[in-house]
């Protein structure tokens, strides 16, 4: 197989950046997508290049199809083919269900779910043409179990799981696998934005493995699903959650 490139959305920090680093280690050039944190995305790319990898940064709001198409077209222009897509970009919000506004709901759906749809549909022609592709969608443990005060977030993350399972069946004859990773509590900026330190300590204490996960824990799972060893695995949801139930 001739390797093309990997596109990682929301790769300026946290899980996305860790996925970009890990995929670059496998020899794939990486398109480091960002929406608002350009300097952080540049830091991600510089670290990749310092370690001998290649890639470029691209500003695109995944909820906007024209921006996504421009990003995929640039990836094809520079590397000829898109072999791996990691749909990581997302937003979160903690709110009582009765306080969620229509704008809150629409933003959650447009970024977290429409974004996955846009990126998959835009990247798939290259994968179908080459009869090869790896798509890994970042869902959440809350998409599996649901979370109080995060109904809209849980709903879109569950939607990603449904999209993953259905798309996997549709594109498998073209040599493309589609899987999801469902992280639990991961030590990211998003976790610190949503939880105070006491809550984070309690979450670690409640975890069967006794700690909060790291972005690298998730990235290792993503790299496996994006690699050759996972060629007979598709339509699956891999929990990276420390045993959360």
Which residues, 6 or more positions from 77, have their beta carbon under 8 angstroms from its beta carbon? none
**Residue for token pair 């939880």:** 195
Token pair for residue 120? Answer: 């998959």
How many other C-beta atoms are found inside a 10 Å radius of the C-beta of residue 14?
A: 20
Any alpha helices (H) in 80-145, and if so which ranges? 102-112, 114-130, 141-145
- Two tokens, residue 95: 């709110």
Alpha-carbon distance 79 to 203, whole Å?
42
Active site includes 34?
no
| C-alpha dihedral (189, 195, 201, 206), degrees to nearest 10 | -110
Q: Which H/E stretch holds residue 17?
A: helix 14-25
- Phi first, then psi, for residue 97 (nearest 5°) are -55, -40
Q: Residues with catalytic annotation?
A: 153
């Amino acid at each position: 197989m001739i390797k093309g490139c990997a596109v990682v959305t929301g790769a300026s920090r946290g899980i996305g950046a860790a996925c970009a680093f890990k995929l670059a280690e496998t020899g794939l050039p990486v398109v480091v997508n960002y929406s608002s944190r350009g300097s952080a995305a540049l830091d991600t790319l510089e670290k990749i290049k310092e370690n001998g990898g290649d890639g470029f940064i691209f500003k695109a709001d995944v909820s906007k199809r024209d921006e996504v198409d421009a990003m995929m077209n640039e990836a094809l222009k520079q590397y000829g083919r898109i072999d791996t897509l990691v749909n990581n970009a997302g937003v979160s919000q903690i709110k009582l269900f009765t306080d969620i506004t229509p704008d809150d709901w629409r933003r959650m759906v447009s970024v977290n779910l429409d974004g996955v749809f846009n990126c998959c549909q835009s990247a798939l022609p290259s994968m179908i043409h080459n009869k090869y592709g790896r798509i890994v969608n970042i869902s959440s443990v809350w998409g599996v179990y649901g979370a109080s005060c995060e109904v809209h977030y849980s709903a879109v993350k569950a939607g990603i799981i449904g999209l993953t399972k259905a798309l996997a069946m549709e594109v498998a004859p073209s040599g493309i696998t589609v899987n999801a990773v469902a992280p639990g509590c991961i030590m990211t900026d998003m976790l610190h934005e949503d939880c105070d330190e006491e809550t984070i300590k309690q979450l670690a204490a409640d975890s069967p493995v006794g700690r909060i996960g790291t972005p690298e824990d998730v990235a290792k799972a993503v790299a496996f699903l994006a690699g050759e060893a996972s060629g007979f695995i598709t339509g699956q949801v891999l929990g990276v959650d420390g045993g959360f139930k």
